Structure 1
Amino acid sequence: MAKIVAAAAVSALLMFSGLFPVRAAVAGDAVGEPSARIVEFGVYDVVSSPVDQSGAVSGTANAVRGLRLLQGTDRVPARVGVNFGMRFQLIGSAAAYPIETRVVYPKAMVNPETGRSATVETFGAEIKPGPNYHGFTFEHEWELLPGVWRFQIYSRGRLLLEKAFTVYRPGDQV
C-alpha cells in the first residue's frame, strides 16, 4: 500500500501512496496564479487510515490525520514503515485551490501482485490555504527504490514546486 501524500490543510491531509535541493518554481506570473514555498521536509511520523485510490500502483491511499517531522533531511532510508515528504504552502490564494501532485520515481515501480507499474504517479487534489503535505510511505519491499525521488506540485499544467529526496539502502555507501 504505497502512499503518495497529497495535500489539504494539515487537519485533513490526504496521503496517496508513495529529493535534491529545494527548487521553488516561479508560479505567480499569470494573473490569479498562486506561487508555493516549502515549509519543511524530511522524514515524518504519520497517523493515517487507508482509502481506495485505484489509480495508484498500490491501489490505495491514506487519509492523514496527523503528522510530525522527525528529521529534516533529503536523504531517506529505503525501509518499510518510513514516511517522507514535504509540507508546503500556496502563496496568493485565499480559497481552496485545485492542484496536481506528482511523484517521479528513480525507475519503474512495479506491484508484483497486480503487474501495475509507473515511473510517475499523478493525483488531483483541492488544497486549502495553510500548510499542506505531499509525501510517501514505504509499505512494501517492492516500493524500496533507491535513487532520486521527485515530489512535484502543479497548477494548471505549471510546475509550482519541486523537492528531490535521495533514497538509499541502509548500509550502502552514499
Structure 2
Amino acid sequence: MASETRFPSMLRIFAAAAALALLAPPGLAPSRAMAEQPRVEILDHGIYETGARTTVPMPISVSGKMNLVSNVRLTEKTREVMGQLGTSFGFRYRIHGVPEGATVTIRTRHPRLTNPETGKSMTYGEREQQASDGGERYTGYSFDATYEIAEGEWSFQILYAGRVIGEQKFKVVVPIN
C-alpha cells in the first residue's frame, strides 16, 4: 500500500500567515506609526552673515564664551572656508524624531586652539540646548580672535542620547599673506 505524506505548499503557508496577521488584534500587529528615528535635516551650510550678537558663557570651549546670533543669512554655500577675522561659518538645520524639549549636545571639533590670555588649549567645544522637533536652528563659528583661525577640518556634530545624529564638516584654509 502506498503511503502519502502531506506537505503544505509554500503558497499555503504564506496565505495562512497573511490571514493570521489580518486577524491579529491591533496591539499585536506591527505599527505603521512607528516613532521616527532621531535625525538632523541639513538645510544649508557655508559662510553666513549674522545679525545682533549676545555673548554668553560657554565653559567647554577655548574662549570660555559663545555668541548667540540672530538673523543669519547664507552668503556663500561652501565647505571650504577662508580663515579670516570676522568670518562666520556653519549650517542651518532641523532636528526630527527627538522629543520636544529634550537635551541635545552641540559639539564643534577643530584643530588645537590655544587662548593666549588663559593658556587654555582645546580641540573641541561643547554645549547643550533644548531640542525643538522640526524647528529651524543655526550652529556655527565666528573667527573673532586670531588664535581661533586654525587650518584643517572643522566639524559640527549634533548628539542625542550620546549618539551623533547629524554632522557638517568644513575645511578651513588659512590664506598666505
Report the equivalent of 1:159.
164
Q: Which amino acid is the alignment partner of residue 55 of structure 1?
A: I
Extract structure 1 runs of 4+ deviating beyond 6 A: none
1:98 to 100, 103, 111: 103
Higher share of residues assigned strand: 1
Q: Which amino acid is the alignment partner of residue 170 of structure 1?
A: P
Q: Say yes or no: does 1:72 pair with 2:77.
A: yes
Q: 1:19-168 alignment to 2 at 5 Å?
A: 33-47=37-51, 48-93=53-98, 95-106=100-111, 108-128=112-132, 129-168=134-173
- Matched residues in 1 for 2:42 and 2:84: separation? 24
CA-CA distance at 1:50 after TM superposition: 1.2
Q: Which amino acid is the alignment partner of residue 44 of structure 1?
A: Y
CA-CA distance at 1:171 after TM superposition: 4.3
- RMSD over aligned Cα atoms: 1.9
Moved more, 71-80 or 33-42: 33-42
Normalising to structure 1: TM-score of the pair? Answer: 0.75
Q: Which amino acid is the alignment partner of residue 119 of structure 1?
A: T
- Matched residues in 2 for 1:117 and 1:97: separation? 30
SS of the equivalent of 1:115 reads coil
CA-CA distance at 1:62 after TM superposition: 1.3
Unpaired segments of 5 or more residues in structure 2?
A: 1-33
SS of the equivalent of 2:61 reads coil
Higher share of residues assigned helix: 2
CA-CA distance at 1:57 after TM superposition: 1.1
CA-CA distance at 1:49 after TM superposition: 1.7
The Cα offsets for residues 52-108 of structure 1, whole Å up to 9 and x where unpaired, read as 2233211211121221001010010100100000111112346233100111112x1
Normalising to structure 2: TM-score of the pair? Answer: 0.74
- Matched residues in 1 for 2:98 and 2:118: separation? 40
- Matched residues in 1 for 2:155 and 2:73: separation? 21
Percent identity of paired positions between Structure 1 and Structure 2: 31
SS of the equivalent of 2:147 reads helix
CA-CA distance at 1:143 after TM superposition: 0.6
Q: Which amino acid is the alignment partner of residue 144 of structure 2?
A: E
- Matched residues in 1 for 2:59 and 2:99: separation? 31
Report the number of matched residues.
142
